[in-house]
Amino acid sequence: MSAQATSSVVSRPAPYGRILISGVVCGVLVMVPTLIVYWVLRLVGVPFEVAVGGDTSLTLVGTWQVMLVPIAAGFLGGLLAGTFRTLTNGPRFAALSLTALTLASCAVPLMQPASVATSTRVSLIVLHLLVGGVLTWAISRAITSEDPPAGVIEDLNSRHPGAGAESRR
């Protein structure tokens, strides 16, 4: 019985800037379906009036707010995920932390005063879950390096002689 050498291959972490840019780009991309859902819900009759800063008067959630929140969430998600990029389980930690933040953001509509319509609360939770779900998936994917880990090709060629590029010539 021959002993095979085991090797642990660790890929390079994704560059921090790429993760941050991916978060912002994904925020911009998820802004479009978020706006569509917002406009459809407004046409259906959801009031989208919320209390801001503990004030009892209600203010309308504007289109510009619906546009900026996904971009800001993507930026902050990219910042957070960038801290996990050098860890072995970085994508898993990023996904868990971004999921926790998404669920925590859903508490904001639930903590609105009784004067806020239930349809507004449910609609805001749907928008939070839409933005958070897409950003969590996309940013977690951005952490993984696109380059194949160093040594994988050489390791496969040594295990299966004749399968490498040099045997195809």
- Parse the chain into domains and list their residue ranges: 31-141
The span from the CA of 5 to the CA of 8, in Å, is 10
Find, among 132, 127, 97, 135, the residue nearest to 109 by Cα: 127
Q: In the chain, which residue ranges form alpha helices assigned H by DSSP?
A: 16-44, 63-83, 90-105, 107-110, 118-143, 152-159
pLDDT score of 41: 98
- 1-15, 63-77, 97-111, 152-166: segment of lowest average pLDDT: 152-166
Give tens-digit pLDDT for 40-99: 999 999 999 999 887 778 999 999 999 999 999 999 999 999 998 888 888 899 999 999
State mean pLDDT over 160-169: 52
Contact between 91 and 85 under an 8 Å Cβ cutoff? The reply is: no
Give tens-digit pLDDT for 101-125: 999 999 999 999 999 999 999 999 9
Instruction: Give the phi and the psi of residue 50 in degrees, each rounded to 5.
Output: -130, 160
pLDDT score of 157: 54
pLDDT score of 90: 84
59 has which bridge partners?
Answer: 50
pLDDT score of 11: 61
Question: Greater confidence, 122 or 1?
Answer: 122
pLDDT score of 32: 96
Residue 165's pLDDT band (cuts 50, 70, 90): low
pLDDT score of 91: 86
58 has which bridge partners?
Answer: 51
Q: What is the pTM of this model?
A: 0.77
pLDDT score of 56: 79
pLDDT score of 118: 96
